[in-house]
Structure 1
Amino acid sequence: MLKTILSISGKPGLYKLVSRGKNMLIVESLVDKKRFPAYGNEKIISLGDIAMYTDTEDVPLKDVLTSMKKKENGEVVKMELKKATADDLRAYLAEVLPTFDRDRVYPSDIKKLISWYNLLVKNNMTDFEEAPEAGETAEAKTEAAE
C-alpha cells in the first residue's frame, strides 16, 4: 500500500498514485481528492522507499507507522503539532522508535511523520504492511512444504 502513496517535494500532504502517463504520473491528493499530473522534474518519492535513521540500521517507514498505529490504537496522534516543542516531538518518537538517531532525525522530520500518519489514518489507509508479491507466496509455500 505504501508503494502507491507518494510525497512530492514542495507540495504539502500525500498523494495516491492513480495512473502513469508518458513522462508523468497522475496523482490524487489525500487531502482534497483533486487529481493532477506530477512530472519527472519534481522530486517524487514513494513512502515505501523511505526509512528512518536509527543508532544501528535504518528502519523502513512501514515499521515506524505500524508502531505508531499500535501506540495510538489505530487512532490519529492527538498532539498539537503547531504548539509541540522539539522535546515533545523527540519524546513521542522515542516511545515509538526508541533507537532513532537523535542527531540525524530533526523535529521537522518528526512533525512530517506524525502529519503523514494522521493523514493516512483519516483516509483509512492503515494497512502499512506490504502484501507479498504473487511469486513470493508461491516460493514461501514451496519452502514450507519442504
Structure 2
Amino acid sequence: MNLQGIVAVSGKPGLWRALSQNKTGFILESLDAQKTKLVANLSTAKLAALDEITIFGFNDDIKLTDVFVKMKTAANVPDSKTDGKKLREFFLEVAPDHDEEKVYASDMKKIVNWFHILKDMPLFNEAPVTEAPVAEEVDSSTDTAKPAVAVKKPVATTVPKAVTKQPAPKATAKPKATAKPRRAE
C-alpha cells in the first residue's frame, strides 16, 4: 500500500493528495470525484500524512498502514456511520492492541471512512515506496561489479526565505557647534 503524498487536513473532510509545494504551503487535490484544489497554508492548516499516522496501543503505537492491511483482509468492514459499539468490536479484530481509552469512536469513524475512500484506488494496492535498492553494474572493460548508488532527493517541508543583504548604515557625523561657549566672568 502506497500512501505517500496522501494527507488529511484538519477542518476539511476527506483525503487529499499533495501535488506540489509553494512558498506558503502545499497545493492539494481532493481524492473524491470533484478533484477540487486547495492551497494549505502551513502556518494555519494542520496536515497529517497517512503513512506517518499511528494509533495508540497498549505497548507500542500501531501504524495506520498495518490497520489498513488488516481491514483489507477483513470479511465485513462496517460503514463509518455505524454505532460506536460495533466499530469498537471491529477495531478489536483489526487492531486488538489498541488502547480503548485513548482511541475514541470519532477516530475509528475517521479511519473507516478513510479506508472506504482508499480501498478502490490503485495506490491502495501498490507496494510501498522504499529506499532505492543498490544495484550492481558490470563494467565491461574490467568485468568487475561496481555498486551503483541511487540518490534520492529529500523533500523539503519548508521553503527557505531568500536572504537579502541590507546596506550597512551610513555613519552620520555629529553636527559641529557653531557658537563658541561663553566664558564665565
Instruction: Give the shorter-chain TM-score range.
Output: 0.7 to 0.9
* Cα pair 1:16 1:27 within 8 Å, conserved: yes
TM-score scaled to structure 2, two decimals?
0.66
Verify: 1:64 aligned to 2:62, yes or no.
no
Q: Which amino acid aligns with 1:49?
A: E
- Match in the other structure for 2:35: 33
Where does 1:1-146 land on structure 2 (aligned, <5 Å)?
1-31=2-32, 32-40=34-42, 41-72=44-75, 77=77, 79-82=78-81, 84-127=82-125, 130-134=128-132, 137-138=133-134
Residues of 2 paired with 1:46 and 1:110: CA distance?
Answer: 17
CA distance in 2 between counterparts of 1:129 and 1:59 reads 19
Partners of 2:115 and 2:87 in 1: CA distance: 14
Larger Rg: 1 or 2?
2
CA apart distance, 1:131: 2.0
**Distance 1:132-1:81 versus aligned 2 partners, 3 A rule:** closer
Q: d(CA) in 2 for partners of 1:27 and 1:63?
A: 25
| Partner SS, residue 18 of structure 1 | strand
Between the aligned partners of 2:62 and 2:134, the Cα distance in structure 1 is 27
Q: Deviations over 1:101-128 (max 9, x none)?
A: 1110001100000000000113333137
* Deviates further, 55-64 or 118-127: 118-127
Identity of aligned residues (%): 32
CA distance in 1, matches of 2:127, 2:61: 17
Q: Is the 8 A contact 2:3 2:128 kept in 1?
A: yes
TM-score by length of 1: 0.82
AA in 1 matched with 2:90:
Y
Considering fraction of residues, name the structure with more helix. Answer: 1
Residue 67 of structure 1: how far off its partner (Å): 1.0
Q: Determine the C-alpha separation between the residues in 1 that align with 2:69 and 2:127.
A: 8
Query: What count of residue pairs does the alignment treat as equivalent?
Result: 133
Deviations 1:67-86 (A, max 9, x none): 111114xxx83x2332x222
In structure 1, the gaps of 5 or more residues are none
Letter in 2 for 1:80: D
d(CA) in 1 for partners of 2:112, 2:47: 19
Classify 1:69/1:128 alpha carbon distance in 2 versus 1 (closer, same or farther; 3 Å).
farther
CA RMSD of aligned residues (A): 2.0
Unaligned runs of 5+ in 2: 136-146, 148-185
